[in-house]
Structure 1
Amino acid sequence: MKKTIVVIVFILGLIGYSFYTNGSFMRTKEKAEVGSYAPDFMLTGVDGKEVRLSDIKKPVLVNFWASWCGPCRQEAPELIRLYDHYKGKFEILAVNITINDKEENARKFARFFGMEFPVLFDRDGSIAEKYRVTGFPTTVFIGKDKKIVYIANGLLPSKKLEEITQKMLDS
């Protein structure tokens, strides 16, 4: 009987701790892989506004980049072209891995390319870690249902970018 009470108290303690930490120990199990739900996040943008992935009610292309990354510079005009072509059908979130970059350089990059979509700062690299980013650029295509459709590591050729975007829009 005493042992049962100890076990119940222990379990209740774990449940209480879970609520206290807002379930953060459970969120660490989120995996960014094709077919799974995209890990939610909230980041601050260059404009000072906070953006939460789960608040966006359409497909989302999340692009992880750095201002010093050559392939990211090559890809930026393609992302802008794609965004303009499909205006309103999906959202692009350009996530600067600020732990490996400087905010001012990211701001200059966004201004230089005329990015009209949200440019966000991952200041501690935690979102990049959730999404298993190992290089730049990394692009994650997320359907309207918030399931990951495709993950691209590295620069995507224009045709492939278009093809995967269409797949994301159709999902």
Structure 2
Amino acid sequence: MGTKLLTLFILFSFTLQAQDMAREDYFSQKIGKHIKKFTQESQRAYADNNLERAEFLFDSLINNVVNGSYLDNFKVKKLSGKKSELNDFKKPVFLITYASWCVPGVGEIPALNDLVAEHHDEIDFVVLFWDSKDKVKKATKEYHKKINVMYVDEKENTNNHVVKTMKHSLGFPTSFYIDSNKRILDVQRGVLHAYNESYDTSFNMNYDSFLNGVATLKSLSPNTNLNPVATKIP
């Protein structure tokens, strides 16, 4: 009996080690090797007003370093006060990082709400704020009830390496498209448009951007039961 238990323990330990080896390319590790050079070159590009170069650097970092890595598990708070972690979500995850002082476009939240209403059965939508609980509550009053709103108050989470890496490396608002195995499929920055842009234009720009993220999750997710994305009718 003792020999059988020992054998099972060894096999179980070997399986866990094999899983760790298979998923050793974590986001924090991979981006940590490149973020210093990326930040320096990006700052130089913005200082030279070379927006094309800055965009190229971001896309190169995402395509050559971030995509395909696994997002480290992290623990944050819900508005209810309860703690939650990334691994609690079993569906593909549409994760948006945000801050209350980032003023959304007039059509941004309605566009997101429409997609959440249509796809929440297949995708977990998460908005992670870098802010205090009170500010996050105020900023998310119009969000769809199926959006998982979470926050990181850095005064209380100074030791959370993963979330600090996410914030300080790629900025915000930024969308992460993560499959059910927590592998990053793609990362996109938020839509930028003029502050006084019309509602219709803002809605359509944001809807199309969010829809691309949903399509990425559905087409590249290992879960083949996800329904394809329907094209929006103008």
TM-score of the superposed pair, with normalisation by structure 1: 0.71
| DSSP 3-state at the match of 1:71 | coil
- Cα distance in 2 between the residues matched to 1:72 and 1:120: 21
Q: Report the CA distance shift for 1:73/1:92 in structure 2 as closer, same or farther (over 3 A).
A: farther
One-letter amino acid matched to 1:160:
S
Relative distance call for 1:128 and 1:104 in structure 2 (3 A) is: same
Matches within 5 A, 1:110-125: 110-124=140-154
2:217 equivalent among 158, 165, 168: 168
**Does 2:20 align with 1:29?**
no
Shift of 1:50: 1.7
2:164: which partner in 1? 129
Number of positions where the alignment pairs a residue of Structure 1 with one of Structure 2: 143
Which amino acid in 2 is paired with 1:130? T
Cα separation, 2, equivalents of 1:72 and 1:39: 30
CA distance in 1 between counterparts of 2:106 and 2:170 reads: 18
Alpha-carbon distance between aligned partners in 2 of 1:160 and 1:134, rounded to the nearest angstrom = 18
Quote the offset at 1:76 in angstroms.
2.5
Q: Distance in 2 between matches of 1:107 and 1:33?
A: 31
Shift of 1:69: 1.0
Alignment of 1:9-158 (within 5 A): 29=29, 31=31, 33-71=66-104, 74-98=107-131, 102-124=132-154, 126=160, 127-131=162-166, 132-155=168-191, 157-158=206-207
Q: Unpaired segments of 5 or more residues in structure 2?
A: 1-25, 32-64, 192-204, 222-234
- Which of 1 and 2 has higher RCO (CA within 8 Å, sep 6+)? 1
Given that 1:58 and 1:143 are in contact with CA atoms closer than 8 Å, whether structure 2 keeps it comes out as yes
Distance 1:73 1:42, change over 3 A: farther
- Superposed displacement of residue 133, structure 1: 4.7
Q: CA–CA distance in 2 between the matches of 1:163 and 1:88?
A: 18
Letter paired with 1:106: V
Counterpart-to-counterpart distance in 2, 1:87 and 1:80: 10
**8 Å contact kept, 1:34–1:151:** yes
> How much does 1:113 deviate?
3.3
Aligned 8 A contact 1:61 1:139 in 2: yes
Q: Is the deviation greater in 145-154 or in 125-134?
A: 125-134
Q: What letter corresponds to residue 161 of structure 1 in structure 2?
A: F
2:165 aligned partner, one-letter code: K
Runs of 4 or more consecutive aligned structure 1 residues displaced over 6 Å after TM superposition: none
